[in-house]
Amino acid sequence: MSDQRGFTLWFTGLSGSGKTAIAKLVERELRDRGLKVERLDGDIVRRSLTRDLGFSKEDRDRNIERVTFVAKLLTRNGVAVLCSFISPYRERRAKTRQEIEEDGAFIEVYVECPVEVCAQRDVKGLYAKAFAGEIENFTGVSDPYEPPENPEVVVHTAQETPEESAAKVIAYLEGQGYIKPASAGEPTDLG
């Protein structure tokens, strides 16, 4: 039987801030260390679990509510769960924290990046369409994003590489005892 302690890493930030890139690096590092890991990503979840939902505030909250249920189950069963969702509303994130903490740990990672930088990175052209008024309810442009007030980890992706940001997350997990520190000389995938 595994003695792995389940936890949820909740990556929140604007579209294009780097949530998925960082989560993938953290996922690889945790797998390399032998942990059970599941990664839930906004784009993937919206193609399957929540494809029936739109982008109104109610639908966004429902989307996160469903993801929270899955993350809670996995966390309770000793899995490291990495969730990458814009999750723009503080109140819904607070409910997510409360629900997951009933069965394990919740660690909020704020992936901070100015909207202008996110727009420059946008390969899909969504920001350009949102600025032109072609996309309604676009977080950070025509819909609000409420930054976390007390996240456990803050990464600044306009100034850090994804590897540096991922290393901050891993350092936090080690420092708080969620994972064992890498052995001296043990290679990591973080650079």
**Catalytic one of 15, 17, 84, 87:** 87
Cα distance between the two ends of the chain: 32
Q: Residue type for 73, please?
A: L
C-alpha closest to that of 63 among 47, 76, 78, 77: 47
Say whether 87 is catalytic.
Answer: yes
Lookup: tokens for 47: 């193609």
Q: Is 58 exposed, middle or buried (0-12, 13-18, 19+ CB in 10 A)?
A: exposed
80-84: strand order across its sheet:
37-41, 80-84, 7-12, 105-112, 153-156
Q: Is 148 within 8 Å of 110 (Cβ atoms)? A: yes
d(CA 128, CA 15): 13
d(CA 140, CA 15): 8
What is the set of active-site residues? 87
